[in-house]
Amino acid sequence: MNNKKKIANLIFPDIQETIADLEQKYPKRNLPEGAIVTRFAPSPTGFLHTGSLFTSLVSARFAHQTGGIFFMRLEDTDQKREIEGSGEKVLEQLHIFGITPDESYLTGGMYGPYVQSERKEIYHTVIKEMIEKDLAYPCFCTHDELDEIRAVQEEKNVLPGYYGEYAKCRKLTEEEVIAKLENQEPYVIRFKSHRDQDTEMSFTDAIRGTITFSPPVNVQDIVIMKGDQLPTYHFAHVVDDHFMRTTHVTRGEEWMPSVPNHLALFEALGFELPIYCHFPVIMKLDDGKRRKLSKRKDVEASVDYFLEQGYPIEGFLEYLMTLANSNFEEWRLEHPMDDIYDFNLSFEKMSLDGALFDLEKIRSISKDRLGLMDADTFVQKAYEYAVQYSEGLKKVIDQNPDYFREIINIERNPEKPRKDYEKYSDILSVIDFMYDEYWLVRFESGLQFNERYQAEDLISILEEYQDNFRLDVSQEEWFDDMKNLAINRKFAARGKDFKKNPELYIGTIGDYAEILRLATCAKKNTPNFYFVLKILGENRVKQRIQKTLEYLKQS
Ligand code: GLU
């Protein structure tokens, strides 16, 4: 046995397989021409980041619109940062957004394991062969030794890092290495870079075109396996995306500077290079400056925030599609009711700069989507939201689902939808007055009538309305009734009449309606008033006006 083999065997005594065996075990996927294989590779460090939802949505779409595969791989090699169970949570949240990987550690698949810490044998097989082929070597340097190297480099003002003449352990003789291993000295494994300092490196990104890195590029002997026997990100990416047969590596642009490391490893191993697609990072405007959406500073960095707030899933996904492709909005205008997945994403139309996160836009898209939703779907989704996040809302729906549906159905006409709700958590504050117990709370906290009107005027207006209103008529007739009563009391039928001759009137029909709204709903703004009154029903309307009259008489 030659010495290189001996070293490889001392490090990995149990590994019998070779890279060729792995090639056979994980053959190229049998997919139709043009089908793309993408992956989502989260680290289990807590929660689903809004940026990761964006990346996985887009990656899943690229795969599925070509009849390909989208899989999930849990990248748990940094075990210090790991939060137990967060992989499941991420999958659960993806699922809520309708994104279900075709393969994952929960569903399995032919290219697993789908958790990096369970792929040790694969990494070790590759590294063992790399050592034998002089593409990798163990490094025994301690922290102190590495610090010393850095200090020398700083003093000489040369490129920092572990390379060339500074790569101390690269110069150890094979006998020295064997002795150290037999002596059980701790080590990491480094890639043995064969690059010279003066050559540039380039690759073609599907979104950004050809990118060239000027020298010195990747002369570093980077660590590929840590002391805990687990691979580093760079190495695991190369091995996994090769043997899991990823065709397109879709990831955030923060990985761009690492590409030379990856190219060097692909090249050394003779693996076919995947197509890189570096997505824009989601940015936020902070005090006029753009910065990355931050896990620590921004609530909206976590998709949990949007779920808790009850933004409709379809609105949020739609918003992310607008970030992905600049022509999505144009398509949406032409196809307002189509499934967003009928839109074909393209790499060319992805923005190159960080995409700017815009909460106002999410709000407005969500309002549109909730307005366009049919009542049954709305009720069902609102209920699902309530079960998880809002006991109060759940209670009112449970009390009488039909009544709730009737309220939600007010003017739910797809031709010209009303936009009463932005998110499910708004529902109660918009319609709570339709429930007597909530109405009473509002009523008891005081009715904010316009100070222009004296209590006795309000009383006489309300008494008259109470005796004369009709609800078993059309909306037009109901409105005419109200208008006539208002005109008789010197309210202007139109705002512009009032503006022209304010001395002739005591207000507008809007002011008159506001008095009625306060008296019946304890609120100035409500969904369409006619339907509100009809759903409340004549008796409750009368009772509420009666209570308001008593209140006014006492004040
Ligand atoms: N685990 C890496 C991360 O969470 C994945 C990067 C990639 O997609 O390759 O950032």
Asked if residue 354 has pLDDT above 90, the reply is no
CATH number of 440-554: 1.10.10.350
Which residues are CB-contacts of 541 (< 8 A; sequence separation ≥ 6)? 469, 471, 520, 533
Q: What local confidence, expressed as pLDDT, does residue 15 receive?
A: 97
The answer to whether the CB of 232 is under 6 A from ligand 1 is no
Residue 282: name the closest of 341, 333, 328, 322 by CA. Answer: 322
Mean pLDDT of the chain: 94
Percent of the chain beyond pLDDT 70? 99
In this prediction the pTM is: 0.88
Q: What local confidence, expressed as pLDDT, does residue 543 receive?
A: 97
Segment 29-37 mean pLDDT = 96
Segment 440-463 mean pLDDT = 96
Contact (CB, 8 A) for 386 and 394: yes
Q: How many CA atoms lie within 13 A of 469 on its CB side?
A: 24
Contact (CB, 8 A) for 8 and 128: yes
Work out which ligand 1 atom sits closest to the CA atom of 52: 4
Segment 438-457 mean pLDDT = 95
The answer to whether the CB of 251 is under 6 A from ligand 1 is yes
Q: What local confidence, expressed as pLDDT, does residue 148 receive?
A: 97
Work out which ligand 1 atom sits closest to the CA atom of 254: 10
Helix orientation angle between 529-536 and 401-408, rounded to the nearest 10 degrees? 160
pLDDT digits (tens, 9 = 90+) for 101-119: 999 999 999 999 999 999 9
Extract the tokens encoding 327: 């022509």
Long-range contacts of 30-34 (CB under 8 A, 24+ apart): 31/67, 31/68, 31/69, 32/67, 34/66, 34/67
Work out which ligand 1 atom sits closest to the CA atom of 40: 8
CA–CA gap between residue 132 and residue 18 (Å, rounded): 11
* 63 — pLDDT class (breaks 50, 70, 90): very high
If you ran DSSP here, which 8-state letter would residue 211 be given? E
* 64 — pLDDT class (breaks 50, 70, 90): very high
Which residues are CB-contacts of 498 (< 8 A; sequence separation ≥ 6)? 492, 505, 507, 508
φ, ψ (nearest 5 deg) of residue 378:
-60, -50
Contact (CB, 8 A) for 324 and 318: no
The answer to whether the CB of 75 is under 6 A from ligand 1 is yes
pLDDT digits (tens, 9 = 90+) for 455-479: 999 999 999 999 999 999 999 999 9
235 residue type, one letter: F
* 1 — pLDDT class (breaks 50, 70, 90): low
Q: How many other β-carbons are positioned within 10 Å of the β-carbon of residue 447?
A: 20
Give the range among 42-46, 234-238, 304-308 with minimum mean pLDDT. 42-46
The residue ranges of every structural domain in the chain are: 4-16+121-279, 373-422, 440-554
Asked if residue 391 has pLDDT above 90, the reply is yes
Q: What local confidence, expressed as pLDDT, does residue 413 receive?
A: 77
Asked if residue 421 has pLDDT above 80, the reply is yes
State the maximum Cα–Cα separation within the chain, in Å, rounded to a whole number. Answer: 110
Contact (CB, 8 A) for 11 and 181: yes
What distances in angstroms separate CA 89 from CA 59, 119, 300, one per listed residue? 19, 21, 17
* 145 — pLDDT class (breaks 50, 70, 90): very high
Burial code of 523-545, b = ≥16 C-beta within 10 A, e = fewer? beebbebbbbbbbbeeeebeebb
- CATH of 4-16+121-279 among 3.30.1490.20, 3.80.30.20, 3.40.50.620, 3.30.70.260: 3.40.50.620
* 294 — pLDDT class (breaks 50, 70, 90): confident
The Å distance, Cα 253 to ligand 1 centre, comes to 11
Asked if residue 97 has pLDDT above 90, the reply is yes
What distances in angstroms separate CA 424 from CA 371, 388, 532, one per listed residue? 12, 12, 19
Helix orientation angle between 475-488 and 529-536, rounded to the nearest 10 degrees? 100
Residue 253: name the closest of 208, 319, 318 by CA. Answer: 208
* 490 — pLDDT class (breaks 50, 70, 90): very high
pLDDT digits (tens, 9 = 90+) for 246-278: 999 999 999 999 999 999 999 999 999 999 999
The DSSP secondary structure of 67-89, one letter per residue, reads T-EEEE-B----TTS--TTHHHH
φ, ψ (nearest 5 deg) of residue 8:
-60, -40
* 86 — pLDDT class (breaks 50, 70, 90): confident
Contact (CB, 8 A) for 372 and 365: no
- Residue of 40, 43, 239 to mutate, ligand 1, most atoms within 8 A of C-beta: 43
* 192 — pLDDT class (breaks 50, 70, 90): very high
The Å distance, Cα 42 to ligand 1 centre, comes to 6
The Å distance, Cα 49 to ligand 1 centre, comes to 12
238 residue type, one letter: V
The Å distance, Cα 40 to ligand 1 centre, comes to 8
Q: How many other β-carbons are positioned within 10 Å of the β-carbon of residue 162?
A: 21
103 residue type, one letter: E
Asked if residue 414 has pLDDT above 70, the reply is no
Q: What local confidence, expressed as pLDDT, does residue 217 receive?
A: 86
Segment 416-432 mean pLDDT = 92
The answer to whether the CB of 41 is under 6 A from ligand 1 is yes
Extract the tokens encoding 126: 């590759």
Q: What local confidence, expressed as pLDDT, does residue 497 receive?
A: 93
End-to-end CA gap in the chain: 103
Extract the tokens encoding 366: 């969500």
The answer to whether the CB of 39 is under 6 A from ligand 1 is no
CA–CA gap between residue 190 and residue 168 (Å, rounded): 12
CA–CA gap between residue 488 and residue 70 (Å, rounded): 69
